[in-house]
Amino acid sequence: MATRPAGEAYHPQFVRQQGEGLAMALGLFSLALGAAQVAAPGVMSRLVGASPTPRRRTTMRSVGLRELANGFAILTQPRQASWLWSRLAGDAVDLALLARVTTDRRNSKGRAIAASAAVLGVAALDYMAANQLTVGESARRDIPVSDRLASTERRVARSVTIHKDRADVEAAWAARSPRPPYLDDGATVHFNEAPGDRGTEVQVRYRYRPKAGMLGASALMVARDDPSQRIRDDLRRFKQELEIGEVLVSDASLTRGAHPARPHARAM
């Protein structure tokens, strides 16, 4: 049975991941901008060079609501690419509004022009992100249906190389008790001889769908509850058990959370 060598790049995913990073930034930016436009429309109007008439304030608030909706959608909804194209459309509307501002002699032309330049810059980023995500999605069309991922599903692979023969490694894996929990969640493990007498490569592949889309996934990473981190930690432990017979602890790693690097009291 041919198994993929550990570490083969998930190439169609790579472009998508770049787009995802940019999308997250743009989503957060939309939230921040939208909040400012809704909460302080007068200030924001002056910032783009327009005097804050009541009608302008209303327009600014509507723009802000649109930004908030867009930002929220980008960060929590599947099919991000569509929301980024929508954001780009919003940029076009903003540019049109700003053009109106520059033609009115009562307004500050310089600021309006500066604001337009800023919008163009962000629009360029929107375009890039939307493109990258769309490319990622179209690449997926070549992948068989059974392998195609739903939008916010993340695919994770983590590998480790163990300086032991493959037969020993596979036997030790099968004998692991308790079984790693992620194996019951649909993760698969793959073994390969490492090139040049380096031993055996072990790769765990796992798919999961984080709740609350991209925001949820990032929160998990920060909290170190990210499945990819748990798998990696587990593989490192497995490697130590095979190579040295136990898992090394340090004074600081004995306890969860912050602890200075000094011996613990006898109570341990």
Amino acid at residue number 52:
P
Q: Does 161 bind another protein (CB under 8 A)?
A: yes
Q: Does 198 bind another protein (CB under 8 A)?
A: yes
**What SS3 class is residue 172?**
helix
Q: Does 251 bind another protein (CB under 8 A)?
A: yes
Beta carbon nearer to another protein, 178 or 260: 260
Q: How far is CA 149 from CA 25, 78, 145, 225, 226, in A?
A: 23, 11, 8, 22, 18
Beta carbon nearer to another protein, 163 or 179: 163
Q: Does 246 bind another protein (CB under 8 A)?
A: yes
The minimum distance between CB 169 and another protein, in angstroms, equals 14
Q: Does 239 bind another protein (CB under 8 A)?
A: yes
For β-strands 199-208 and 188-194, DSSP reports them as antiparallel
Element (H, E) at 174: helix 166-174
The minimum distance between CB 102 and another protein, in angstroms, equals 37
Give CA–CA dist 213/52, Å, rounded: 37
Q: Does 225 bind another protein (CB under 8 A)?
A: no
Give CA–CA dist 102/117, Å, rounded: 13
User: CA nearest 204: which of 185, 221, 218?
Assistant: 185
Q: Does 221 bind another protein (CB under 8 A)?
A: no
- What the block records as the tokens of 261 is 């690097």
Segment contacting another protein by CB under 8 A, of 21-29, 111-119, 171-179, 234-242? 234-242
Give the binding site for another protein (CB under 8 A).
161, 163, 198-199, 229, 232-233, 236, 239-240, 243-246, 248-254, 258-266, 268
